Every structure is written in C-alpha cells, then in structure tokens.
Amino acid sequence: MTMLRLAASGFSPLPRTLIFLVFAGMFSIFSAQWVATGTLYGAMRWVRRQFPAFLLSVPAAAAIPLLTAALTNRLWPGFTLGYLLVYIVAKADQVKYETALTHFLWSDLFKTSDPGKFRELIGHYIRPAFFLPMLLGQLLGNGLLHLLTGGIFLSGPSAASGRWLAAFAGASLLALFWRYGLWVQNKWLHRWLHVPVLSSQNYDQNVRLHGSWLAFFAHIHLVSIDQDIPDTYSPERTEQIQSHLLANAGQMAQSPAKTKPTIIVLAIEALWDITRIQGLEFAEDPLQAFRADYAGDVTASCFAGLTANSEFEFLTGLSISLLHDSACPFIKINRPLPALPSHLRQLGYLTTAIHSYTRTFYDRDKVYPLLGFEQFIGLEELTAQGFARQKGWYMADEALLEPILAQLHQTENPQLIYTLTMQNHGPYAPDRYAEGAIDPEARPRFASKLNVSDGDRHAVINYTQGVRDAGHLYAKLCQQIEQLDRPVLLCAFGDHLPGIGEHSGYRMMVDAGMAATAQDPALYQVPVFYHANQAARKAGLSGKLALDHAHHSQWPGFNVLGARLLEAAGLPLPPLQRLVLELEKMGDADENNTSNQSRKDLLEVYEWIQYDWLWGQGYTLPH
C-alpha cells in the first residue's frame, strides 16, 4: 500500500493515470459480473474462465472515468460516474433478461424520441433493490480508492499534464471500444487476444463470454446490421426475384373482392391464456369474453417484450427469424414498404392506427405512415379528446371503445382500424392498481406446488385484472358491430406472453410444468380471436380464421396472420403474402410446390426480398 501511495504521489502523472485506470476498470467490471452472474463465486469463475475478456473490459470500463476526471479535475466523480454506468448496464440487462428473456441493448435507448415517456415506462421496473447494491458499491469503491492512495485521487490530477494525459487516454479508449464489435472480429487480433468470437445470432453467448459491458459495446455495431447480405443479392437477380414476387399479381388485379368488410384489429398488450398455468384456480374464466371466438395460436418472436417485432411481422408479412438475435427492425424503417395497411389502402380502405400510449414509442409516429396508415391517433390525441381514462399506470383498455366506435361510425366505407392497447403492460407490481380496482374474480387460488411469493401473487392478480378489462372491451365491441348492417370483422390477439412474477417472468410457468425451459415454444404461443358479425356472414364471408398447426405441431408466426386475415375477408392477397402462405404450406419439408420450387429456394427468395426492402437498394419495391 505504501508503494502505491508513493507511486501516486510521484512527480509523473503516468502512474496516477494507470493506477486509476486499473482500479476503476477492475472494480467496476467485477461488480458488474457479480450482478450478471448473481453471486460472488459466479463473478470469480467468470474472471477465471474468460480472463482475456476481463482484461479487455478493464480499459473499456475506465474510459469514461478518465474523461470525467480530466474534465472535473476530480477523480472521485470519474470513478462514481464510471461505476454507475457499468452497474446500470449490468443490472438493466439482468432485470430485462429475467423479465423478458432478452438483453439490454444499445438500441433500447432509441425506441422513443420522447425521453419523458421512456423514463415513465422503464421507471415501473426500477425498484429499491435496483439501487441499493449500487450505492453500497459506490461507498466501498470510493473508500478503497481513498485507502489505497492516501486521498490523492480525491483531489484529482491537478497538473495540466496529468489532466491532458487522462483526457487523451479516456477519449482514446472510448473511441477504441466504441468500435469493439468491429475490430475484435479481426482474425489476427482474435488469435492474439484469445477473445471468443462475437455472435450476431446469439446475444446470450456474447454476454456470457464477453461480459455485459463489452457485449453492450459490441451491439453498437451488431445492431446496425440486423440481417446479413444474401449471397445472391445483386441487381442482376432482380428480374428473377420479381417473377416470384409478382407471379400472382395479374390474378390479384383480375379478382376484385365482391365485399369489402371493415376490419378491426385489437393488438392487446400481453393477452394470453393464463389458465394454461396448472395450479391456478379461477372462480371465473379470465378469458370468458374471448373464448367462443378462439381461432388458434400464433408464434411470437419474443417473450414479455418487443411488441414492435410482433407488429412488424403482422403488418409487413416479413419475418424476425431471418434477422440477427435481439433485432428490432421496426424502428429502422425509413422508406415506404408494402404492408397490410398500404395494400388495403390501394383497395379503397381508410386506414387508421390507434394506440393508447405515446406516439413516439418505437417511432410509431414515423413508421406507421410508411406502412400505409393514413392517420395515427396516439395518447396525445386521445387525451385532448377526453378519451384517455386511466386505470393503473396506463390508459384503460375499456376507454378505447369510444374512439374505436367514433372512427367506425365516421364513414360507411371500408376501413382498417388497427388498435394497440397498453393497460396490461408489465411489470405487474403490487402497487399497480388501487385495492378497489381489482375484481374478486381476478384473485385465483394458488396450488402449493407453485411455491409463489407474495410478489408473485400480486403479479398474477394484477395481470388477470388486465385480461378481464381487455375482455370487457372485446365483448362490448362485438355487441356494437353486431348492430351494424354492414360487414365487420374483428381480430384480436396478444403481442407476446406476459412476464409474470416477482423475480422472473417465466419461472412460474416452468415450475407449473407448462414449459420445460426458458426457451420452450410454449412461452411464445399467443392466442388469436376472430369474430365476424352477422352482416359479414350473410355476405358470404367466413366466420372462422384459417389458423392451424403448421408442420411438427408448431403454430404459424405473426407474418402469416395478416395473410390469413385477408383470406377471411375475401380480399386479394399481395404477392408477398402469397409467398408467405406457400412457405407455410410447405412447412419444414424440402418438397416441391406447384412451381417445382423447393422450400429452400423459396426461402432464399423470401430472404432476398426482406433484405432488399429493409436495407438493400429496393430493387423489388413498387415504384
């Protein structure tokens, strides 16, 4: 310790900078891995097994502390800020994964252009347990720093040379690790540094092998390339791709629909059949309002989050499965795309989107017009019009009935009214609702085998109340459309399963035997409900939605649901949706379809089109 103090008090600023770099980086990274692994032993084991990644993490974690120390001429703010950022990334990653089975990513910071609403949303996940370990770490770290250096670092690198050195080192390290996802993949550096390869398809692996801090930096690069360039992507192949895409365009133009029903879509936040958890006994079926209209399930690409990914697949017919792990393409759409709203608009429909949350979240205010919505009514407009009655933390689902009916009665011409709810968004914390806002029927009996905590009980009750309220909206909407003498179709579905539980979004489901692991397909299957009013059935439209198990007993994805809805409406399908249905019919078998085209080749065409539309040159986009 005496040697350290002598080195720190020497004339040269270099030892001071190095000691501060090593201490700030090592302490922050070790604390972060303690959070990530859950135990002190887990952090020590990670350091031992991934020592090269740990060594690289140290200067990456010290970059911001060095810059802050140079700017403030105080070293304790540098350590405090650096430790805070590393801890928050690790803790946010842990909480998000336990709740929604996805990691905290760089792109999460850009899902809204409204910082106030972003803070409101994530604020519901922040509990005292989030901050207490951080405060203890701050006290311990600053105390050790004072003990090791005799207090010299609390006064900062007062010499001009020391401040310049700290600023240069911090800026250089920040610039270097900002591009970590690029240079660490260099073959020579990879062999020399002995660092594991980064995976664009397995973010869990990146966090496990590189640590939460380096994985977060790596994703800055990985998030910019959500899909690999197809090997055959070139302008020369455009004509061949177009032949597949437009094969049925002539038939579509020659077969206009005899009836154009109004289509109402309810994308209900976290709607799911909670009775699938064995051990919960309800006095009344939470989905009683929906049950008679059950059409089947669809497979979501995410668990307990990333609503925009389900929207993306449903509205565009494209697939998340072709993208990198944890991708969110919705917020990157920057040009008009062929989609369900734009297709219906070409058929003469008025297309409206209604969302009971802020317009800017997931950039919906920018993306919806590019997908063909003529108007978008967000929480701001609903509040100004007096519709935004609140229940719990968000606007009540039942309060959406009035704006939906107002839009429905605005014209007798066919419409697409796409409505996205918010009331039942997680977390389902004990303070979610006032005591009088909970129905007695929302309180189930819990079997002892579930081994639930008080927090788990509150989560189940609060979630069930949200399902019941969504059911009230659905039932009242069904009653209203049955009174109309024009055909109306109503399709409701959940965007993903809920993350129910005090400490884990899926543990109760696994403990109850509903799923074997956190990756079980049962955790991604959400119900779809479909109702055609009497006028629609009289017009010859189907009273059912053609959803069924695909090959190997797997339900189809959200990218198929839009096509099935158009079929039920008796409307012509755009070329991409026809391609999607061809792929679904072929399942996983490598068989030939009517055009002697193998599933593998057809999937390559689908992947080519998706890349072209989202990130390529747009060769096959309609002009």
Q: Distance between CA atoms of 58 and 169, rounded to whole angstroms?
A: 13
DSSP tag of 592: B
pLDDT of 590 = 47
Distance CA 88, CA 72 (A): 22
Between 193 and 402, name the one with better pLDDT: 402
pLDDT of residue 252: 45
Is residue 210 within 8 Å of 198, Cβ to Cβ? yes
pLDDT of residue 155: 59
Residues in the chain: 623
Cβ burial, residue 246 (10 Å; 0-12/13-18/19+):
middle
Q: Which domains does the chain have, with CATH numbers?
A: 2-222 (no CATH), 258-294+339-354+372-555 (3.40.720.10)
Q: Which residues contact 370 (CB under 8 A, 6 or more apart)?
A: 333, 334, 335, 336, 337
pLDDT tens digits, 503-516: 677 888 888 888 88
The pLDDT of residue 159:
61
- Radius of gyration (Cα) for the chain, nearest Å? 27
Q: What is the pLDDT of residues 331-375, one digit of tens each?
A: 889 999 999 999 999 999 999 999 999 999 999 999 999 999 999
Amino acid, res. 483: Q
Q: Structure tokens of 265?
A: 């879509």
The residue among 612, 23, 525 whose CA lies nearest residue 318 is 612
- Residue pair 237/608 in contact (Cβ under 8 Å)? The answer is yes
**Is a pLDDT exceeding 50 seen at residue 164?**
yes
Specify whether the CB–CB gap between 241 and 620 falls below 8 A. yes
Whether the pLDDT of residue 397 is over 90: the answer is yes
Note whether 428 and 459 are within 8 A (CB). yes
Higher pLDDT, 15 or 327: 327
What percent of the chain is predicted at pLDDT more than 70?
87
> In sequence order, what are the residues at sequence separation of 6 or more whose Cβ sits closer than 8 angstroms to the Cβ of residue 134?
83, 84, 87, 88, 91
Cis peptide, bond prior to residue 575, ω within 30 of zero: no
pLDDT digits (tens, 9 = 90+) for 76-125: 888 889 999 999 899 888 888 888 888 888 878 777 666 666 666 666 66
Whether the CB-CB separation of 524 and 320 falls below 8 Å is answered with no
Instruction: Label residue 7 by pLDDT band (50, 70, 90).
Output: very low
**Backbone dihedral angles phi then psi of residue 531, each to the nearest 5 degrees:** -140, 125
What tens digit of pLDDT does each residue of 405-420 get?
A: 999 999 999 999 999 9
Q: Please report, in angstroms and rounded to a whole number, the separation of the first and last CA atoms in the chain.
A: 72
- Residue 74 phi, psi (nearest 5): -140, 135
What count of other Cβ atoms lies within 10 Å of the Cβ of residue 156? 21
pLDDT band at 131 (very low <50, low <70, confident <90, very high): confident
Cα–Cα distance, 515 to 494 (Å, whole number) = 19
Dist. CA 573–CA 579, nearest whole Å:
10
CA distances, 154 to each of 5, 11, 66, 234, 362 (Å): 13, 17, 13, 59, 42
The pLDDT assigned to 12 comes to 55
Q: Taking a C-beta distance cutoff of 8 angstroms, is the pair 303, 457 a contact?
A: no
And the tokens for 363? Answer: 């950039």
> What local confidence, expressed as pLDDT, does residue 8 receive?
47
Q: How confident is the model at residue 154 (pLDDT cuts 50, 70, 90)?
A: low
Structure-token pair, residue 330: 């919705």
Q: What is the pTM (predicted TM-score) of this model?
A: 0.88
